[in-house]
Chains A and B, each alone.
Chain A
Amino acid sequence: MKIAVCIKQVPDTEAKIRIRADGRSIEEAGVNFVVSPYDEYAVEEALRLKEKQGGEVVAFTVGDERAATALRTVLAMGADSAVHLKDAAFEGSDALGISRILAAALRKTPFDLILFGKQGVGTDQGQVGPRVAELLDLPHVSVVVSLTVDAGRLTAEREIEGALEIVESPLPAVVTAQKGLNEPRYASLKGILAAKKKEIRTFTLSDLGLEPSSVGAAGAREIWEKLEVPPSRGAGKILKDMEPAAAARELVRLLREEAKVL
C-alpha cells in the first residue's frame, strides 16, 4: 500500500508567542519548531499500516528551508522518503493555497491513502485535509480516532459531539487524524541515522505546473490583517481563607447575582 502523510511544521505549543512589529505575524527568532502534534498521529498510523501490510510511506510538507527538519523527523520515525514543496511563490499561502500545492504534488503519484493531522496546531483551521480530498476528487473522513484498512476499503471511527460515527469508504481516500488514534513513537537513534540517507525531493512552483497567482500571498482568499494579544480579562474575585461551605455559598451567589450565569 502506498501511503502519503502530509505534515506541517509549527511553533512548539509551549513557545512564547510574540507579535512582530508588522502586527500581522509572529516573531520566529528563538521559537522552537516541531511537527504539528496531530500530524504525528497521522505519521504513526501510516507506519503501523505499512508494518502490517507492507508498502511505502512518503511524507509531504509545504514550507521554507526550515521545514526540511520536520521532514527529517518524520523520516527518522520511519517514513521511506519525503517531498519538500518549496518555492518563494508559496510564501503567504492560506489554506486554499497550501491545499492547491499539496494536491498538485499528490497528483504526480497515485496513493492508496493520504493522511493528515486533523488540524495544524497554532492556526487550528482544520481545512487542508478535506480541501485536498475535494481537489483530488477523493472521499475523506476527518477527526478519526480508529482506522482499519482491508481489501481496498477503510473503516474509520470519527469523533462527533457525544458519539463516534463509523464511516466506511473505498480507497483511495483522505483521512485526518485525531488524538486517540494511536500513541506516536519517538525516533530511535538508528532511525535518526537512517533518516540522513533517505531522499528528500524538492518540487517548486514550476515542477508542479502551478500558476504563481494561484498560491502564496497572491492567491490567498483569507488575509490575516492583524494579529494581536487577546484582551486581558479584568482581575477576578478570588475567595481565600474561607470555610468550604461559606466559599461555595458565596461563589454561587456571585455567579447568580453578579455574573448572571446561573
Chain B
Amino acid sequence: MPKDVLVFVESRAGQVKQPSLQALSEGRRVADGLGAKLRALLIGSRVEPLASELAAQGPDSVLLAEHRLLEHYQAEAFAAVLAEAVQTTASEYAFLPATAMGRDLAPRAAARLDAGLASDCTHVEVSGGELRVKRPVYSGKAVATVRFSGSPSFATLRPNAFPVASAPRTPSIEKLAVDLQESRIRARTTGIKASEAGEIDVAEAAIVVSGGRAMKGPENFALIRSLAEALGGAMGASRAAVDAGWVGHQYQVGQTGKVVSPTLYIACGISGAIQHLAGMSTSKVIVAINKDAEAPIFKLADYGIVGDLYEILPKLTEEVRRMKGQ
C-alpha cells in the first residue's frame, strides 16, 4: 500500500504563508521517496482561490474543505475536518507547519485518530520505505531521531527549517464533504489584536536581529530595530532584555520564548546562555556581535565581530542599506 502524504496548508485572511509552502515542498520530497501521492488540504469558508498557489510545490491533488463555520481557525472544527481528511484519503503521514495554528491543531487532530505526532521537526528522512524525523530536544543540547509505530502519523515542521522547492504539477481539485454542527464548536475566536503594526513576527522571519543584556535599556533597541528593518527581518530579544522589561515577551527568543530557525540570525550583545541557544541554534547562519571575545555565543557563530555594538550596529545598518540600494 502506498504511504500517501497529506499536508495541511494554513491560510489566514486569504493568504498562504511560507511555512505551509515549506511543509508542502517537504511533503513532495517525502512522497517521492515513498513512491506515494501528495495531497494538500485547505480548510476555510472559501479557499478554492488558493488552490492554484500550491501548484508550484507539486501536490497531486488539492483537497478543499469549505464551510461557513470554518471561516476563522477553530481547533475543534479544524481538527475534526483534518482527521477525517486523513482517514478518508487513507494517508499514512500528515504534515503541518509548526506555526501557532499548526501546533494547536496537530495534537487535537492526532488525538482523534490515536495517532503519534512529532512536534517541531527540523529534518525528515525516508529510507527503506520508512519515515524518520529529527527534532531538537533539551534546549538543543540533543537531537532525537523519532520513528513512528502504527498508522497514521503526524509531524509538525519547524518554519524555515525546510526549503521551498519548485516541483510544479497540475493538481486535481477535490471538494470534501464537510458536516459540522454549530453547537460542537465551543471555543471561538472573537477578535484579534495585532501586537505591533506591520511588524514581522520573529518566529516567521527569514532574518532575525536580536538584542540582549548589553542593550542596557529600551531606547537602544532602536538600533536593533533599524538593522532588522534594513534587512527586511524581525527584531528579537534575549530573556535578560525581556525580563528587564525593555521589550515585550513576544520578542523573546529562547527556551521560554520563541524557537526560531531563520536563514540569518544576528545576536547583538547576547552572551549565549543555554536558554537563548535553545531558541536559535538551528538557524542556518549565526552572527554574533559582542564586546567579550570569550562570550559562549562565539562558539556557535559562523561569523562574528568582537567590538562595541553601539559603534558597529549603526555602521552595519548603513552598510546593509547601501548594499540594498545597489
* Interface, chain A (partner B; CB < 8 A): 11, 13-14, 16-17, 19, 26, 37-38, 94-96, 99, 121-131, 133-135, 138-143, 145, 155, 157-170, 173, 179-180, 220-230, 233-234, 236-242, 244-245, 247-249, 251-252, 254-256, 259, 261-262
Contacts and interface: CB of A to CB of B under 8 A. Distances in A.
Nearest to B264: A261
A124 B281 CA distance: 15
Nearest to A221: B116
A204 B286 CA distance: 48
A140 B200 contact: no
Q: Which of B106, B188, B278, B285 has the most CB of A within 10 A?
A: B285
Contact of B100 (A138, A159, A224): A159
Interface in B248-300: 249-250, 252, 255-257, 259, 263-264, 274-275, 278, 281, 284-288, 293, 298, 300
A168 B108 contact: no
23 contacts: A16-B141, A121-B256, A127-B117, A131-B108, A160-B101, A162-B195, A162-B199, A162-B200, A163-B194, A166-B190, A169-B186, A179-B252, A221-B114, A222-B116, A222-B146, A223-B147, A223-B149, A228-B145, A230-B143, A237-B303, A251-B287, A254-B303, A259-B285
Contact of B189 (A95, A143, A165): A165
A20 to B, nearest CB: 11
A239 B304 contact: yes
Interface string B144-165: 1111111001000000000000
B323 A252 contact: yes
A134 B108 contact: yes
Given A126-B107, A130-B104, A237-B303, A17 B146 contact: no
Interface stretch (B36-44, B218-226, B311-319): B311-319
Contacts of A230: 136, 140-143, 281
A126 B119 contact: yes
Contacts of B100: 143, 158-161
Contact of A220 (B149, B199, B259, B307): B149
A155 B189 CA distance: 10
Contacts, number: 272
Contact of A164 (B76, B193, B281, B302): B193
Contact of A236 (B75, B149, B264, B301): B301
Interface in B178-216: 186-196, 199-201, 203-204, 207
Interface in B35-89: 73, 75-76, 79
B16 interface: no
B274 A13 contact: yes
Contacts of A16: 141
B187 A248 contact: no
Interface string B92-115: 000000011101101110111011
B308 interface: yes
Given A139-B187, A262-B323, A221 B274 contact: no
A100 B316 CA distance: 53
B240 interface: no
Contacts of A255: 264, 285, 287, 303
Contacts of A143: 100, 103-104
Given A238-B293, A245-B315, A168 B302 contact: no
Interface residues of B, number: 94
Chain A at the B interface: SS class: mixed
B116 to A, nearest CB: 3
B277 to A, nearest CB: 10
Nearest to A160: B100
B303 A162 contact: no
A13 B146 contact: no
Given A162-B195, A228-B142, A242-B307, A223 B148 contact: yes
A238 B306 contact: yes
Contacts of A221: 114-116, 148-150, 153
B137 interface: yes
B139 interface: yes
B190 A167 contact: yes
Given A130-B75, A139-B186, A180-B249, A166 B193 contact: yes
B312 A227 contact: no
Nearest to B116: A221
A99 B305 contact: no
A252 B320 contact: yes
B120 interface: yes
B142 A238 contact: no
B315 A244 contact: yes
Contacts of B187: 139-141, 167-169, 173
Q: Which 9 A-B pairs have the closest CB atoms?
A: A221-B116, A169-B187, A139-B187, A248-B315, A134-B111, A139-B186, A162-B201, A160-B100, A222-B116
B316 A140 contact: no
Nearest to A249: B319
A124 B120 contact: yes
Q: Which of B138, B264, B281 has the most CB of A within 10 A?
A: B138
Contacts of A130: 75, 104, 107-108, 111
Contacts of A37: 255-256
Contact of A224 (B145, B274, B287): B145
A201 to B, nearest CB: 26
